[in-house]
A and B are shown apart, each in its own frame.
Chain A
Amino acid sequence: MWFIDLMLAFSRWLESTPLAGFSVWVAASPLSTAINQNSWATPTTESVHILAIAAAFGSAMMINLRILGLAGRRQTILQVEERFSPWISWSLLILVATGVIIVLAEPAREMLSGWFWTKMGLVAFVALANLGFQASVRRHAARWEPGRQSVALRAGAGALIALWCVIMIFGRLIAYTGVA
């Protein structure tokens, strides 16, 4: 498939950049070797990473389902947003922290993967969209109520959930960068 070929070409290009040498340097650093000395460290960190995705994705689902009128209809959008948004923000922080440990543990696997950098771009976009959403809902809550929203808002709510799924798929595919 053309997209997989594109990602493979991206990965091969990354190998020709200074990132290749940098990843070797990180792998030899005391921090990286310390993480790898403990065989439990990486799977435990990845477990926390997945649990944080569950918290963020479950929360994002509830907010976007409310926008689409499919959940929490007895609550106002503002109530739903105020309950679930902090979970997304805190989860994103935990995701970055655990993500850094995972990169330190296996630098070449992540830094030389096209899937990884594309995922990082999408994560940055989702984080910004989340901030923009919070600001907009807090300022004009009424505009977000079902019946009054534009088609674009509803499409946006659906697209954001789809984007989270794409991010998870890319995250899993990092493990297969060298294969296929």
Chain B
Amino acid sequence: MALQNLWAALEASPLGDFVASSAWAFPAIESAHVIAIVTVVGTVGIMDLRLLGWAGKAWTVTEESDDTLKWTWGAFALATITGTLLFISKAHVYAREPWFLAKLVLFAAAAANMAVFHRQTWKRVSDWNAGFTPPRAAVIAGGLSLTIWILAIVCGRFIGFTLGQYE
């Protein structure tokens, strides 16, 4: 199968081999991954709670977004890079791991949620920027985002507990 060959090639690549065989590479990259995902979820959560109207009464929505979004994206970039490095160390194992695959589905859902929110709801943000309770579409987007990211953390943690069981 073509994908099997791809996973094998990734594992055999100098980088994949380095992460797999070095004593400190995996724990070091994993630590950076934890710091990155915690920053993503922490900052996303602050924005989501504002969209839900549950926290941050004194902040306008755009102010909240300015404070959090750049950190969310920076940390997400770091999480993607470190996550990819962890993946290529044992690609064929992760590729069969249901919790890992569920995490990818959740990322797709988060992207779709974000795209809809930014193309529609965010366009008229000036109308509801300072109001404490944002419109229903924003509340739904915030609730979905918070749920998706919480589930992504859970899936990520379960990967480490079931690894290799599905080989």
Answer yes or no: are A and B bound together in one complex: yes
CB < 8 Å neighbour of B157 from A47, A75, A179: A47
Complex Cα gap A46–B41 (Å)? 15
> Can you list, as one digit per residue, whether each of A21-42 has a CB less than 8 Å from chain B (1) or not (0)?
0000000000000000001001
Inside 8 A of B58's CB, which chain A residues have their CB? 75, 79, 83
B77 at the interface (CB under 8 A from A): no
Inside 8 A of A179's CB, which chain B residues have their CB? 23
B152 to chain A minimum Cβ distance, whole angstroms, is: 10
**Is the pair B59, A165 in contact by a Cβ cutoff of 8 Å?**
no
Complex Cα gap A136–B160 (Å)? 41
Q: Which residues of A (30-77) have their CB < 8 Å from a CB of B? A: 39, 42-44, 46-47, 50-51, 53-59, 61-62, 65, 71-72, 74-75
Q: Which residues of B (41-61) have their CB < 8 Å from a CB of A? A: 41-43, 45-46, 55-56, 58-59
Contact residues of B: prevailing secondary structure: helix
Closest Cβ neighbor of A49 among chain B residues: B157
CB < 8 Å neighbour of A168 from B27, B38, B41: B38
Which of A123-131, A145-153, A169-177 lies at the interface?
A: A169-177
Inside 8 A of A72's CB, which chain B residues have their CB? 59, 63, 67
Complex Cα gap A166–B128 (Å)? 40
A180 at the interface (CB under 8 A from B): yes
Number of B residues near A (Cβ < 8 Å) is: 31
> Can you list, as one digit per residue, whether each of B16-49 has a CB less than 8 Å from chain A (1) or not (0)?
0000000110010011001101110111011000
**Is the pair B71, A75 in contact by a Cβ cutoff of 8 Å?**
no
Complex Cα gap A171–B55 (Å)? 29
B166 at the interface (CB under 8 A from A): no
Contact residues of A: prevailing secondary structure: helix
Complex Cα gap A46–B159 (Å)? 12
B154 at the interface (CB under 8 A from A): yes
A104 to chain B minimum Cβ distance, whole angstroms, is: 17
Complex Cα gap A46–B161 (Å)? 11
**Is the pair A168, B43 in contact by a Cβ cutoff of 8 Å?**
no
Q: Which of B45, B67, B150 is most buried by chain A, counting CB atoms within 10 A of its CB?
A: B67
Query: Known interface pairs A47-B153, A50-B153, A61-B39. Does A74 touch B63 (Cβ–Cβ under 8 Å)?
Result: yes
**Is the pair A51, B34 in contact by a Cβ cutoff of 8 Å?**
no
Closest Cβ neighbor of A70 among chain B residues: B67
**Is the pair B23, A61 in contact by a Cβ cutoff of 8 Å?**
no
Q: Which residues of B (123-154) have their CB < 8 Å from a CB of A? A: 150, 153-154
B75 to chain A minimum Cβ distance, whole angstroms, is: 10
B158 at the interface (CB under 8 A from A): yes
CB < 8 Å neighbour of B42 from A4, A59, A79, A172: A59
B37 to chain A minimum Cβ distance, whole angstroms, is: 8
Query: Known interface pairs A47-B157, A58-B46. Does A172 touch B55 (Cβ–Cβ under 8 Å)?
Result: no
**Is the pair A58, B42 in contact by a Cβ cutoff of 8 Å?**
yes
A177 to chain B minimum Cβ distance, whole angstroms, is: 11
Give chain A's interface residues, CB within 8 Å of chain B: 4, 39, 42-44, 46-47, 50-51, 53-59, 61-62, 65, 71-72, 74-75, 79, 83, 165, 168-169, 171-173, 175-176, 179-180
